[in-house]
């Protein structure tokens, strides 16, 4: 979705080349579309020329009329801030060769902390503009100030004010990074695999409100996946409440039967969820996040920092009574005993109940806490984490999948989900069954042969149900 509301939209994003062709072109040894295309490599080697080079892309994308929406200015600033953060942390760069780090491109390690690097180039840029200030470059400094060192900000603010006294202040000068929250939103679909929460933002001086939405993955989370800043009406035109997802050849067909919803949510709860999800993302090693997450992460952190928040509540595990009642309802459901084959066999029914305990514990711990929410993604996650190991260690190679299939049907009836979702889940279970038969598997109790994260998850689960992971006989 486009971010801008201008009559003539300006593109923005990692590595987007300048659009006005007036000489604000980054120099250097990197390709024009590389995220490092604007790294300092000036002709004369001076800090001032290097700073101009670094800010060239940013400056070229600001409106010559200096009337950009503050949200757009904040985004453009965070393209640069996010790039500097990647360099400081030596994190893999977006785009280009997968996993390539700044140290590999630059031939040296990180030159310093991100805020120190930004402070250095901000001072150099103010020096470069002292004699003949160019408004486009002067306008780059103010939105970067929150990301400079705290000690340097007062002096930088004085310098910016002096430069703006010569070139004038942009329309957004008093609004940038000064948004307040005017509402909160929660968008989701019936399956609940992704929870999108948003803060509606209001800037001073009458700028149109926009919403900072964050998409949060529930499975193995919650962790933040991507962000977007957009007007609420535009978001609704794409995520239309009360309607199913449009057909997409890259998505399961059952999504066209899944209804979407948008509801108000207290601002404090939205902010708390976003901050928790971002903290979880930072802890992940292999992060399945959007390519532009490095841009939106500092933007979201700065936007949310001054807003009220409450810590999201932890999912409440089922007590023994609730768990036993759910399992009893499942075992007594029409057709379950016949489908699994435990009619008239109390011992077999007890074994089935143990599998049900595993299902309940998984959904509570890894799928957001809803014991009945067995979407195709939850089923796939369960089989990936526990499927092969549970089958081996419980010596039930022909037992897990039939029980899981009936459990999924039982939960879907409770949820009222369409038959297409159930069919997708059963196909996932069937595919796992065939995949399992085609591969070698660890011996019962031998967790060392099980790759993480399934090993870690199984060990936690084993301890919870009173099993000793170090004892092969117990396993």
Query: pLDDT tens digit string along 310-348?
Result: 999 887 887 889 999 999 999 999 888 888 887 666 677
Tell me, yes or no, whether 236 and 252 share the same domain: yes
Amino acid 49: pLDDT: 83
Amino acid 172: pLDDT: 97
Tell me, yes or no, whether 94 and 201 share the same domain: no
Amino acid 390: pLDDT: 54
Q: Number of structural domains, the chain?
A: 3
Tell me, yes or no, whether 383 and 420 share the same domain: yes
Report if residue 335 sits inside a domain. Answer: yes
Cis bond upstream, residue 455 (ω within 30) = no
Cis bond upstream, residue 222 (ω within 30) = yes
Amino acid 396: pLDDT: 54
Tell me, yes or no, whether 283 and 247 share the same domain: yes
Amino acid 373: pLDDT: 96
Structural domain range at position 278 = 180-305
Amino acid 388: pLDDT: 59
Residues of the chain falling short of pLDDT 70:
1-45, 95-99, 343-346, 387-398, 433-475
Of 175, 202, 230, the domain-final residue: 175
The neighbouring-strand residues paired with 213 are 198, 228
Report if residue 472 sits inside a domain. Answer: no
Tell me, yes or no, whether 40 and 186 share the same domain: no
Report if residue 313 sits inside a domain. Answer: no
Tell me, yes or no, whether 185 and 145 share the same domain: no
Q: Which residues fall within 8 angstroms of residue 217, CB to CB, at 6 or more apart?
A: 193, 194, 223, 224, 225, 288
Tell me, yes or no, whether 19 and 130 share the same domain: yes
Tell me, yes or no, whether 342 and 447 share the same domain: yes
Report if residue 74 sits inside a domain. Answer: yes
Tell me, yes or no, whether 4 and 81 share the same domain: yes
Report if residue 469 sits inside a domain. Answer: no
Of 152, 175, 198, the domain-final residue: 175
Report if residue 310 sits inside a domain. Answer: no
- pTM of the predicted structure, to 2 decimals: 0.78
Report if residue 278 sits inside a domain. Answer: yes
Tell me, yes or no, whether 138 and 8 share the same domain: yes
Tell me, yes or no, whether 378 and 255 share the same domain: no
Report if residue 475 sits inside a domain. Answer: no
Tell me, yes or no, whether 207 and 119 share the same domain: no
Of 255, 278, 305, the domain-final residue: 305
CA 184 to CA 350: how far, in whole Å?
46
Amino acid 459: pLDDT: 58
């Amino acid at each position: 979705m486009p971010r801008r509301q201008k009559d003539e939209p300006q593109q923005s994003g990692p590595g987007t080349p300048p659009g006005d062709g007036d000489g604000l072109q980054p120099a250097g040894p990197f390709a024009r579309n590389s995220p490092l295309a604007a790294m300092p490599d000036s002709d004369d080697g001076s800090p001032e020329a290097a700073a101009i080079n670094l800010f060239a892309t940013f400056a070229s994308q600001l409106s010559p009329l200096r009337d950009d929406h503050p949200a757009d200015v904040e985004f453009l600033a965070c393209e640069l801030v996010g790039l500097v953060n990647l360099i400081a942390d030596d994190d893999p760069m977006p785009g280009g060769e997968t996993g390539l780090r700044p140290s590999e491109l630059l031939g040296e390690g990180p030159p310093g902390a991100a805020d120190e690097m930004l402070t250095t180039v901000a001072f150099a840029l103010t020096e470069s503009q002292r004699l003949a200030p160019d408004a486009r470059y002067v306008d780059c400094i103010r939105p970067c100030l929150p990301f400079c060192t705290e000690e340097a900000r007062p002096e930088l603010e004085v310098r910016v004010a002096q430069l703006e006294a010569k070139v004038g202040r942009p329309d957004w000068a008093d609004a940038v990074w000064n948004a307040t929250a005017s509402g909160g939103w929660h968008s989701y679909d019936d399956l609940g695999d992704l929870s999108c929460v948003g803060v509606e933002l209001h800037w001073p001086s009458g700028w149109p409100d926009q919403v900072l939405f964050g998409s949060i993955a529930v499975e193995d989370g919650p962790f933040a996946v991507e962000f977007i800043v957009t007007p609420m009406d535009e978001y609704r035109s794409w995520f239309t409440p009360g309607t199913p997802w449009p057909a997409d050849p890259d998505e399961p067909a059952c999504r066209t039967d899944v209804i979407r919803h948008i509801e108000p949510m207290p601002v404090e709860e939205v902010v708390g969820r976003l901050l928790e999800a971002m903290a979880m993302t930072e802890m992940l090693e292999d992060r399945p996040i959007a390519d532009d997450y490095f841009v939106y992460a500092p933007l979201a952190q700065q936007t949310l920092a001054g807003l009220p928040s409450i810590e999201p509540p932890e999912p409440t595990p089922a007590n023994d009574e609730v768990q036993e009642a759910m399992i009893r309802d499942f075992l007594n459901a029409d057709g379950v005993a016949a489908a699994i084959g435990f009619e008239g066999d109390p011992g077999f029914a007890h074994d089935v109940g143990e599998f049900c305990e595993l299902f309940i514990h998984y959904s509570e711990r890894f799928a957001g806490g809803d014991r009945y929410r067995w979407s195709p993604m939850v089923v796939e996650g369960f089989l990936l984490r526990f499927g092969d190991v549970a089958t081996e260690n419980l010596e039930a190679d022909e037992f897990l999948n039939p029980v899981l299939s009936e459990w999924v049907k039982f939960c879907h009836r409770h949820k009222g989900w369409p038959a297409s979702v159930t069919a997708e889940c059963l196909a996932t279970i069937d595919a796992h069954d065939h995949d399992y038969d085609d591969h070698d598997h660890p011996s019962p109790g031998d967790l060392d042969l099980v790759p993480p994260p399934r090993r870690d998850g199984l060990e936690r689960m084993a301890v919870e149900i009173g099993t000793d992971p170090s004892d092969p006989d117990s396993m």
